[in-house]
Structure 1
């Protein structure tokens, strides 16, 4: 719920959904439907007005701000539409940032280097972030999102700023990483066609969630039971 009084807007309306460990899940819907708000809720960037958000069995709505920050940094990884790399740092230094913030620097260099090799950036590790292409920057952002070995990786329009060929490469990379590492991926996207077969599609329309394809009228119409 945003705003007050007559200006209140209900971004999500009694949304109830479940995402299982290791699933590759898409959240789709028109602009303004509530997709990003839902992702922000799961990512503990926004708090729900009512209800609970459970991650790995933890009711996160009972955590204070410090505990939420610590939980977010250890359990969740983030990938955004824009890579948001710091241009004055190298690719490796950018990927290392979440580990440095969390204070878990043991084996950090090796873990970050291994991830950069896995996403095909071995030759770019020591380059400044402003010296690599957009597609390479997004690969680095994926590595950064995975470096803390999160239980859940949340991606908000990760292909929205890329051409179709690069988008396909990024999608296949995320799928292969999800399979290899056994992590859960929850992705907000307008580019449904780029993702092919996935484990689950959640459609958001007018703040409500349905399990099924792009239009709730063709989906199951069944609102899902909540666990995030």
Structure 2
């Protein structure tokens, strides 16, 4: 899969023939320097942008064949998102924020699922607080619960610890790993905080638009040519 921006002399190949597969339940980091193409890759997997060439298959479905309405529906059902900033709606309660993806998807799942997730991320006592009354670390826990509420095939996280101190970052990383193992949930995480994540299933490094397996220069192997 490739992604090219601009035309003629202004063409920039943000992703250059990237190709790999990720198995269900894998906890995968995507790393690389600023401007390497890692966020572009996450946007492609998240169906927030279209590849110039190639395809993105999720659960065996070639998403490049879907029209915009079907892509929106597919994204709501199959993908969960966690961002650097929790992006909670401050006028809503913690519980209401977690329930938002269900309402958007027209899902009638009961509040019990949201409460169970909030209990799992250690926020049982914060359920009815407004989102502007909790700490940054707590807000990111809410964002994780919100990302999981639709039982997505893949959870995509873009710099989920980038706005947190090191202690809180460690807590959030361990929480995501715990949820991944408990739910056999696939996590794909873009981060520049490699050291905070410790051992993970795989690391994919993006350099100059190409993908490499591993994160140490001496060990990196190109995974698409």
TM-score by length of 2: 0.96
Contact 2:211–2:223 (CA under 8 A) maintained in structure 1: yes
**Counterpart position of 1:29:** 32
Select 1:147's aligned residue among 149, 160, 168.
Answer: 149
| Consecutive unaligned residues in structure 2, runs of 5 or more | none
**Counterpart position of 1:76:** 79
Distance 2:31 2:216 in 1: 6
**Counterpart position of 1:60:** 63
State the secondary structure of the residue aligned to 2:54: coil
Q: 1:69, CA displacement in angstroms?
A: 0.5
Distance 2:223 2:165 in 1: 34
Contact 1:135–1:162 (CA under 8 A) maintained in structure 2: yes
**Counterpart position of 1:187:** 189
Distance 2:189 2:48 in 1: 16
State the secondary structure of the residue aligned to 2:80: strand
**Counterpart position of 2:198:** 196
Contact 2:17–2:224 (CA under 8 A) maintained in structure 1: no
**Counterpart position of 1:222:** 222
Q: Deviations over 1:112-157 (max 9, x none)?
A: 1100000001111100000000000000000000000001000000
Q: 1:5, CA displacement in angstroms?
A: 2.0
Contact 2:79–2:156 (CA under 8 A) maintained in structure 1: yes
Q: 1:8, CA displacement in angstroms?
A: 1.5
Q: 1:224, CA displacement in angstroms?
A: 4.4
| Consecutive unaligned residues in structure 1, runs of 5 or more | none
Distance 2:222 2:16 in 1: 14
CA RMSD of aligned residues (A): 1.0
**Counterpart position of 1:137:** 139
Select 2:52's aligned residue among 49, 52, 75.
Answer: 49
Distance 2:8 2:100 in 1: 41
Select 2:10's aligned residue among 7, 12, 16.
Answer: 7
Determine if the alignment matches structure 1 residue 117 to structure 2 residue 119: yes
Contact 1:20–1:184 (CA under 8 A) maintained in structure 2: yes
Give the structure with the higher percent strand: 2
State the secondary structure of the residue aligned to 1:45: coil
Distance 1:86 1:116 in 2: 16
**Counterpart position of 1:127:** 129
Q: 1:193, CA displacement in angstroms?
A: 0.4
Distance 1:118 1:41 in 2: 30
CA shift in 2, pair 1:214/1:187, >3 Å: farther
